[in-house]
């Protein structure tokens, strides 16, 4: 597939799929060929808005389209497992929106299906592929701030009171952990390259039974910690710090970072700035396509094993809160 135009299908015609569709226009070598929704009318409206040639009224039709090289899954959280298995069992490569699944067991099942069918599979943790985040990875690998001892990351907003909406409805996979909280938790995994040995937490469970906000303290041993906060009913902002023995790194708006600041001991501050036109979803799409062209089933920046490990960490956190999902 070296140099081949990669044909994409989008499964789900909601808000996040729309953002991905608009950004895919910035991804070199990508062609958006089809979209599927649960109704043909919705799929056709989405296709007309984004200039997509084919629209399907069922997900199975898209999974069986022989022209589609890879499927982006942008459905609601509880549907991810079934949608993943549908596409993987049809032999399609998949880029699945975060959170990858609802539980670690579901993530493990999807990973096994990808292995069984020999196809590419990756969680769409788009922040990993943003140029400022890649620059941070470079600085860390070069040891520019010494040994990392502390990560502080916050992402939270007030979505307002809508008990039937996706964020506060447990039947729709609502709550902070899977929606906003996955970002700082995945960021800590990105920095430390492992999951915490011990976890302390505080959570607010709201009227609808979902986690509306939380604070986490991850202990990795040897004095290494992560302090993480997230919310869907509290405007706590969007910022991250990485502190090492020889300096620190700052990411203002780390979720969709456009700058990264390095403050290394004995050096002038360094600022990396990304002036991209796209929101940033195009970078994960390009990374996935590079894997397809190279015949790779995973990408080293977001390997399946780490995705599964992160889901296990989420399960540990929920167990401490005694929070279960309706289907469990």
Catalytic residue list: 98
Return the SS3 of 307.
helix
Taken in order 125, 104, 102, 71, is the CA torsion positive or negative?
positive
How many helices (H) and strands (E) are present in the chain, helices listed first? 10, 14
Side-chain-facing half-sphere of 176: CA atoms under 13 Å: 32
Sort 37 into a burial class: Cβ within 10 Å, 0-12 / 13-18 / 19+: buried
Report the distance separating Cα 237 and Cα 78, nearest Å.
Answer: 26
User: Is the dihedral angle over the CA atoms 293, 191, 127, 93 positive or is it negative?
Assistant: positive
């Amino acid at each position: 597939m070296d140099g081949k135009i990669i044909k994409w299908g989008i499964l789900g015609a909601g808000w996040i799929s729309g953002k991905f569709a608009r950004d895919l226009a910035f991804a070199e070598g990508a062609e958006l060929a089809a979209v599927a929704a649960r109704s043909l009318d919705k799929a056709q409206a989405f296709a007309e808005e984004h200039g997509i040639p084919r629209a399907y009224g069922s997900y199975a039709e898209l999974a069986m389209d022989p022209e589609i090289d890879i499927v982006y899954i942008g459905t609601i959280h509880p549907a991810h497992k079934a949608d993943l298995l549908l596409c993987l069992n049809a032999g399609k490569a998949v880029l699945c929106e975060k959170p990858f699944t609802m539980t670690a067991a579901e993530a493990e099942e999807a990973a096994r299906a990808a292995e069984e069918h020999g196809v590419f599979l990756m969680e769409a943790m788009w922040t990993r592929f943003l140029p400022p985040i890649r620059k941070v990875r470079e600085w860390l690998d070069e040891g520019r701030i010494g040994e990392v001892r502390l990560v502080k990351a916050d992402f939270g907003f007030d979505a307002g009171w809508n008990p039937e909406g996706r964020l506060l409805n447990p039947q729709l996979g609502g709550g902070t952990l899977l929606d906003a909280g996955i970002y700082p938790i995945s960021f800590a995994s990105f920095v430390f390259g492992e999951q915490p040995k011990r976890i302390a937490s505080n959570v607010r469970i709201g009227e609808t039974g979902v986690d509306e906000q939380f604070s986490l303290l991850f202990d990795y041993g040897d004095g290494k910690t992560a302090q993480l906060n997230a919310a869907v009913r509290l405007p706590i902002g969007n910022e991250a710090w990485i502190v090492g023995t020889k300096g620190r790194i700052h990411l203002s708006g780390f979720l969709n970072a456009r700058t990264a600041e390095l403050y290394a001991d004995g050096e002038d501050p360094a600022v990396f700035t990304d002036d991209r036109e796209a929101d940033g979803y195009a970078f994960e799409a390009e990374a996935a396509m590079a894997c397809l062209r190279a015949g790779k089933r995973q990408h080293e920046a977001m390997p399946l094993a780490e995705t599964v490990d992160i889901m296990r960490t989420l399960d540990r956190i929920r167990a401490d809160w005694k929070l279960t999902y309706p289907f469990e």
